[in-house]
Structure 1
Amino acid sequence: MSAGELSSPPQPLWTAILLAGQRPEGDPMAEYCNVRYKALIPIHGQTMLERVTRALVKSPHIGRIVVMAQSPDALKAGLPADLAEDENIAFFPSTDGIATSIHSIVGSDAAPWPVLVTTADNALLTSAMIDRFFEEHRGQDVAVGVVERRTMLAAYPDARRTWLKFRGGAYSGANLFALQGEAAKPAVAFWSAVEKDRKKGWKIFAHFGPRLLLRALSQTIGFREAMAQAGERMGLRAEPIVLPMAEAAIDVDKPEDLALVTKILERRAGQASENRAI
């Protein structure tokens, strides 16, 4: 048997589902920026949708991108031609619910496994963040990208985020969700049931029984252990992936977020110019 026959088969590339919808009644940030769709808010010369799409295109782990929104044609028209006409980027209509939209397409021919879910307001996303996320992925059915509070405060002490507090640390989401295959579907269905409570960790853990809820509330359980126990209740393996980049947990939900993201992107552009000049 040759060495080539002994080698592992190549891993399939990931489908990225890029959520770019907004509330049916409109979005406060879209109104604040005087645009119709939040995903098309411009920041430092590019819309948020373009920035996230380009980060996904650049990653060697991503093979296909599915943009989901209530008005997919309008968002497609808002992208530069090289992205709008890319055969590996598709546009699909979404419902008003995030989890319902994902469940309707995940694992289909349009969005084959494995799937990475992210959002258009994740405007600081880079291919380096995506690569680091997948470097830490170990085949979990469900993996959730997070940033630890100490990492955030060391870089941006004034940044305001929603923190899930556990023994040993507090965490904020990075809008990166890996769904490995069919085994992840119960987690998507569960998310549909608790979506309105997504920023209230205790309400989510309440669905897994009083013992896990009490341990979460009393902070006598670590985040990794809590996710593992919740996953076991659904018959799957679930773990957090802690990212070392503070920017991974900064999305654009408020005007102060927009100001901070703009400042960070301006700094990145300046550093890139300096590097080119060397």
Structure 2
Amino acid sequence: MTVSTALVLAGSRGGVDPVAAYAGVTDKALIEIGGVTMLARVVAALRAAGMTRILVSTASEAVIRHARALGTEPIAAGAGPSASARIAFAAAGAPLLVTTGDHPLLRAGWIASFLHDAPADADVAALLARRDSIDRDAPNTTRTYLRFADGDWSGCNLFLLATPAAAAALDLWERVERDRKRPWRIVLRLGIPLLVRYALGRLTLAEGLARIGALAGVRAALVECESGLAAIDVDKPADLDLARSLIA
């Protein structure tokens, strides 16, 4: 699929970001690694992958100034990632590639492969990496894994909103964010039979994703990334130390 517009989520959930504080800056996207900000690294990877229009979602004046200096388009951030994505999707339309500003290892090759391998009939797609790939490429990292019958998977912070129907996936994302402190509501949406199969280790990731897509009324797909480094973002100080060592 040919995609030329990308969104970088570079907002904040409010309060002091512990990683930004650890690095001595106001915003996580402004953290420098090897003399280059994380946001600049993400933007460079997107441009190298053929993105000609790049939106940066943020409410920070410092990030807005930096985004403009990089030649990107700042766009208002919502109350959370899903709301921010909704604002950008309404402005840019489909197809829209979505990533985050704390993904300094992002590579153009991963993006190109993701867009090439995403099924043509998918409304939404996500890039994921297997645990064994992550352990191979970054053995010193700790990730959050989704455990399925076909292995343990971790997200790579790269999503494709391929068609206008992807707006329904944003609706589901927003409901999940709203219920993140009441996980039982999220669990109930999946249905008891699916949860039983998951608990017994009989549910594959593709089956689970298809069910979630059906709940949202969209065709959802996953794409596997061969590089475990694609799953490394900077959520905590240890992640920043790891990213700096890998880039060095």
**TM-score over 0.5 for the pair:** yes
What is the distance in 1 between the residues matched to 2:23 and 2:171?
A: 34
Tell me the equivalent position of 2:117.
136
- Following TM superposition, by how much is the alpha carbon of 1:198 offset from its aligned partner in structure 2, in angstroms? 6.8
Relative contact order: is structure 1 or structure 2 higher (C-alpha 8 Å, sep ≥ 6)?
2
Q: 2:34 aligns with which of 44, 68, 82?
A: 44
- Following TM superposition, by how much is the alpha carbon of 1:232 offset from its aligned partner in structure 2, in angstroms? 1.9
* Kept in 2: contact 1:24–1:96 (CA 8 A): no
Does residue 68 of structure 1 match 2:49?
A: no
Which 10-residue stretch deviates more, 193-202 or 33-42? Answer: 193-202
What is the distance in 1 between the residues matched to 2:147 and 2:184?
A: 10
* Kept in 2: contact 1:70–1:96 (CA 8 A): no
Tell me the equivalent position of 2:223.
241
Q: How has the CA–CA distance of structure 1 residues 193 and 33 changed in structure 2, closer, same or farther, with 3 Å as cutoff?
A: same
- Following TM superposition, by how much is the alpha carbon of 1:12 offset from its aligned partner in structure 2, in angstroms? 5.0
Q: Which amino acid aligns with 1:46?
A: V
Q: How has the CA–CA distance of structure 1 residues 219 and 203 changed in structure 2, closer, same or farther, with 3 Å as cutoff?
A: farther
TM-score by length of 2: 0.92
Does residue 253 of structure 1 match 2:209?
A: no
* Kept in 2: contact 1:162–1:199 (CA 8 A): no
Q: How has the CA–CA distance of structure 1 residues 54 and 222 changed in structure 2, closer, same or farther, with 3 Å as cutoff?
A: same
Q: 2:191 aligns with which of 209, 231, 238?
A: 209
Which segments of 5 or more consecutive residues in structure 1 lack a partner in the other structure? 1-10, 267-278
Does residue 195 of structure 1 match 2:177?
A: yes
SS at match of 1:36: coil
Greater C-alpha radius of gyration: 1
User: Over residues 57-96 of structure 1, what are the superposed CA-to-partner deviations in whole Å (9 max), with x where a residue is unaligned?
Assistant: 1112x2311100012x421423584x2xx3xx21112022
The within-5 A match list for 1:1-278 is 12-60=2-50, 62-71=51-60, 73-78=61-66, 81=69, 83=70, 86=71, 89-106=72-89, 108=90, 110-139=91-120, 140-195=122-177, 204-266=186-248
Identity %, equivalent residues? 38
Q: How has the CA–CA distance of structure 1 residues 118 and 187 changed in structure 2, closer, same or farther, with 3 Å as cutoff?
A: same
Aligned length: 247
CA RMSD of aligned residues (A): 2.2
Which 10-residue stretch deviates more, 91-100 or 188-197? Answer: 188-197
What is the distance in 1 between the residues matched to 2:153 and 2:236?
A: 19
